[in-house]
Amino acid sequence: MYSAKKLKQALAGLALLSFTHAASAEVVVVVSAKNPTSSLTAEQASDLFLGEVATFPSGGQAVPVDQADGAHARDEFYTKAAGKTSAQLKAYWAKVIFTGRGKPPKAAADSATVKQLVADNPNMIGYMDRSAVDASVKVVLTLR
């Protein structure tokens, strides 16, 4: 049987591990360093990725780039910015596609690919793990 002290130590270790993972997996919305947009709200970012609007607040064309279905960053982004689970997002796009009102953003394989695409095109917007951010992209929203 485990002693109460060992159980507390194990639980404390698990709590620390989960906190460390959550802190390292912070998702941010990024645009090219050349893009004039300096910040977005979660609602504005959600509207762009759900096809509700097609321009940045400044008026420039916005081309969202998703991450692959099942990617942690994708799940975090849609949960925190749009309040949608993966299943709700699939249902949303099925309805939008069926009614002919739009199509989902193209998906990139991972945060590194998103960063490269966004950095190379000032009209693109993406989301990625904060740890992948460098000077080629600008963080316009941090999702907590």
Token pair of 99, please? 């009614």
**Residue that wins the pLDDT comparison between 138 and 24:** 138
**How many independent structural domains does the chain possess?**
1
pTM of the predicted model as reported, rounded to 2 decimal places: 0.82
Residue 117 inside a domain? The answer is: yes
Which residue type sits at 120? D
Per-residue model confidence (pLDDT) at position 3 = 56
Nearest to 129 by CA among 82, 44, 79, 67: 67
Q: What is the CATH number of the domain that holds 47?
A: 3.40.190.10
Instruction: In whole angstroms, give the CA distance from residue 83 to residue 42.
Output: 10
DSSP 63: E
What range defines the domain where residue 138 resides?
A: 25-143
pLDDT digits 0-9 by tens, 1-34:
555 555 455 445 544 444 434 444 799 999 999 9
Question: Tens digit of pLDDT for each residue in 63-105?
Answer: 999 999 999 999 999 999 999 999 999 999 999 999 999 999 9
Residue in 86, 103, 85 with CA at minimum distance from that of residue 94:
103
Q: Is residue 1 part of a domain?
A: no
In a domain, 18, yes or no: no
